[in-house]
Structure 1
Amino acid sequence: MIDKYAVFGHPINHSKSPLIHGMFAAQQDQLLEYTAVDIAEEEFEQRVEAFLQEPGKGLNITVPFKERAWALAAVRTERAELAGAVNTLWRDESGSIRGDNTDGAGLVADLTCNHRIQLDKSRILLLGAGGAARGVIKPLLDAGASELVIANRTLSKAQLLVSVFGPVGSSNHQISACDFQHLPEGNFDLIINATSAGLSGETPDLPVHLMNEYTICYDMLYGTSETPFCRWARQHQASKSLDGLGMLVEQAAESFLIWRGIKPDTAPVIEALRQSLGQQ
């Protein structure tokens, strides 16, 4: 019987996950089936419970169900607990549904392994305070960031994340909140866009004093063409402007490792996806 995996979401037809996990399986000689399933909102919990029976071995969860997956998981990893969202589900030996959030690990792996970016003692500006931002804060702090500033249009949302993550980890980092009108002076080593503004073609209205010629800009979004944030970064002479395609593949690799006990080689998968999107 072939082990079955899937990604649940709504809508789901845009998902690259079946392609990514199919390449992982072929690369590692793993026999499995991975599909994308569009789930009606009222059926989510029932469909998860039903899927995670033999031969259903694991699920990825995407919008709008990550928070509900968090609530459904009987056991959650620390990073999932803090993120308030789960993107990876499976049953353990006792039959309990376990949940993890691999987004932050995917981001850190893309930054450090694929782009050779030093996060230790770095000064990071994180744009946005929604679920995408919340999922990556602990991994960034764990990677050694010395200062993390969370900027959001609504200040109270950024302050909430500071209250949640401020006590986490070592005392060697500083975490603070601001709105977009009161961004701190000085240059950042890394600026990460975790907002969804780029989906509507918006470019960030940010002061240029945030960066210098050494600043790296990273957009958690990706597309068939340059994202508005990456375009803004390039036009303002950022050292690098990077999109989130590598993060997508790396978070999938982390899920694959949880389920199959094997970490796939992500580099050829990222390259194949870039070619399929028409990126050079």
Structure 2
Amino acid sequence: MRHTLPIAPQFYVTAPQPCPYLPGRMERKLFTALQGEGAQRLNDGLSKQGFRRSQNVLYRPSCADCAACLSARINVAEFTASKGQRRTLRRNAALKRRATSPWATEEQYSLFRRYLESRHATGGMADMDTFEFAAMVEETPIRTRVVEYTEAETGALTAVCLTDILDDGVSMVYSFYDPDRSSESLGTYVILDHVAIARENGLPYVYLGYWVPGSPKMGYKAAFSGLEVYVGNRWQKMRDPEEFRAQAHPLVNDPISEQVANISLPDGRPLRARSV
């Protein structure tokens, strides 16, 4: 009988490019491939260390002079809806949720295009065609669902969220909604409903992606109680957003080799700096 040793994932760093969140900054990402039989365990393990999934890749910001992008998650047990969030729940109470396998549809893509053209016309996804959209939704080696929200009376598709199922929560990979209904706070509603999904399934966290102090695009995430951010290789409670503005200072970032050395694999093994 032949035994093979498990191969540690290899990590790479992208070339610097303009930061989409903070003007005048350059961003780099640390990333690794998500593939093989251990893909689910690797995604579960690295999500707990601030990584995010994009199709078959796990990535985390690894900028040379800034550490402002902080992975954020809601601790479901400590979450209490604010007065405004309760209004949002009531306002959208007629929406029906439907979770399906990760399969892209023309109706989803049509809503996605309208959302981008209204909200992110100059963003990195602005030129995404139907095939690229299908790849974003369908190319996943782990447990993923497409959560659709439709009008109860008409069945019209109103919002969509691509959602990963982790061993300790749900991760909101990407969401979009009807831009003509901005007054209904659909983005907030989808997050609130994912808190409900986590509760229904006994999962403790809702992973929201990155929160960036000082970025207007990301400010809404700080409005959720029970928020935690990944700083200094551990999750910390968000009490005052102003406490984390110092993360944009160039001296707070560890060298990339140290960042890799501090990553733990699902079996508890640390990585060596030569993996970069």
TM-score (norm 2): 0.31
Report which of the two has the higher share of strand.
2
Report which of the two has the higher share of helix.
1
* Greater relative CO (CA pairs within 8 A, separation 6+): 2
TM-score (norm 1): 0.30
